[in-house]
């Protein structure tokens, strides 16, 4: 599958700042010597009809999974576009389960982007502020990845940026600075995991968003995420024109 210039340039920008990111955020990044690449997306981003969005790539992605130490932007782009044709990380299985009801499959019409394109060490309570700083520094890459997905008609956003900020709060926090408008304003709901619908508007483009407060890797399993998404399968299908 050919990779367009927008995607290649996205990866080039992320790679160009890797040394700076490593220097500024070394305390929460994987150790030197392990493969470590920016991952602005997984899957056929330019053709995807839908996107899932979570926190950041797992550090396990680079362990014993055949990643070389160095990659050109073109080679990394090709690997990421074709990612689901080989050996995707186990996270994507439970993420896809509730989306199948809307006809979505990773590697076909579904791709994934993260709020932070950098793998980190396991984030602990004491790392909260450091990870939030990384997320704020890298917010532009997330919005650039949305631009690189021109055919996406709906976004499924889940989880939180540590316990301090839900994912939809993070997106809303940075949207205006990057030429988007997030509506309606994120609000937290009491009584356990919840879902809400929003829109991101950038110029003439409108991206409907389904936010699920529960993440796939929640401690008690992906069940809450799957339930929240599956409950909105008709809404998802409507956004996709099905």
Domains in the chain, start-ordered, CATH in brackets? 5-239 (3.40.470.10)
Query: How far apart are the C-alpha atoms of 1 and 45, rounded to whole Å?
Result: 11
Instruction: Say if pTM beats, i.e. exceeds, 0.85.
Output: yes
The answer to whether residue 133 scores a pLDDT higher than 60 is yes
Q: Which pLDDT does position 1 carry in this prediction?
A: 56
Please answer whether residues 89 and 18 qualify as being in contact, where contact means their C-beta atoms are separated by less than 8 angstroms. Answer: no
The stretch 189-213 carries a mean pLDDT of 96
The answer to whether the CB of 210 falls within 8 A of the CB of 158 is no
Higher model confidence: residue 4 or residue 52?
52
Mean pLDDT of 164-173: 97
**Residues near 217 by Cβ (< 8 Å), separated by ≥ 6?**
91, 159
For residue 64, pLDDT beyond 90 = no
| Residue 242, beta-bridge partner list | none
CA distances in angstroms from 117 to 4, 91, 149, 219, listed in the order given: 19, 16, 15, 22
Query: At 37, is the pLDDT very low, low, confident or very high (cuts 50, 70, 90)?
Result: very high
Average pLDDT of 126-151?
96
231 has pLDDT over 80: yes
Across 60-65, average pLDDT: 88
Sign of CA dihedral 85, 86, 89, 93: positive
Q: How far apart are CA 137 and CA 141, in angstroms?
A: 9
* Whether pLDDT at 20 is above 70: yes
Query: So what's the pLDDT on residue 125?
Result: 87
Task: Provide mean pLDDT across the span 76-82.
Answer: 96
Average model confidence (pLDDT) across the chain = 95
Question: Which band of pLDDT confidence, cut at 50, 70 and 90, is reported for residue 34?
Answer: confident
């Amino acid at each position: 599958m050919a990779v367009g210039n927008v995607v290649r340039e996205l990866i080039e920008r992320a790679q160009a700042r890797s040394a700076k990111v490593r220097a500024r955020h070394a305390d929460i990044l994987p150790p030197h010597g392990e493969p470590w690449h920016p991952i602005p997306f997984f899957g056929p981003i330019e053709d995807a009809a839908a996107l899932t969005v979570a926190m950041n790539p797992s550090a396990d992605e680079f362990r014993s999974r055949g990643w070389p130490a160095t990659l050109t932007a073109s080679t990394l782009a090709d690997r990421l576009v074709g990612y689901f044709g080989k050996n995707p990380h186990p996270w994507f299985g439970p993420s896809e389960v509730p989306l199948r009801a809307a006809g979505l499959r990773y590697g076909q019409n579904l791709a994934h982007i993260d709020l932070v394109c950098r793998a980190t060490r396991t984030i602990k309570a004491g790392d909260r502020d450091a990870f939030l700083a990384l997320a704020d520094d890298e917010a532009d890459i997330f919005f650039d990845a949305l631009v690189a997905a021109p055919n996406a008609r709906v976004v499924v956003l889940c989880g939180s940026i540590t316990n301090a900020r839900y994912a939809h709060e993070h997106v809303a926090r940075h949207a205006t600075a990057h030429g988007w408008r997030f509506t309606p304003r994120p609000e937290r709901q009491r009584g356990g995991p919840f879902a809400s619908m929003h829109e991101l508007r950038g110029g003439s483009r409108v991206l409907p968003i389904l936010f699920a407060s529960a993440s796939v890797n929640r401690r008690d399993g992906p069940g809450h995420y799957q339930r929240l998404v599956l409950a909105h399968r008709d809404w998802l299908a409507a956004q996709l024109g099905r």
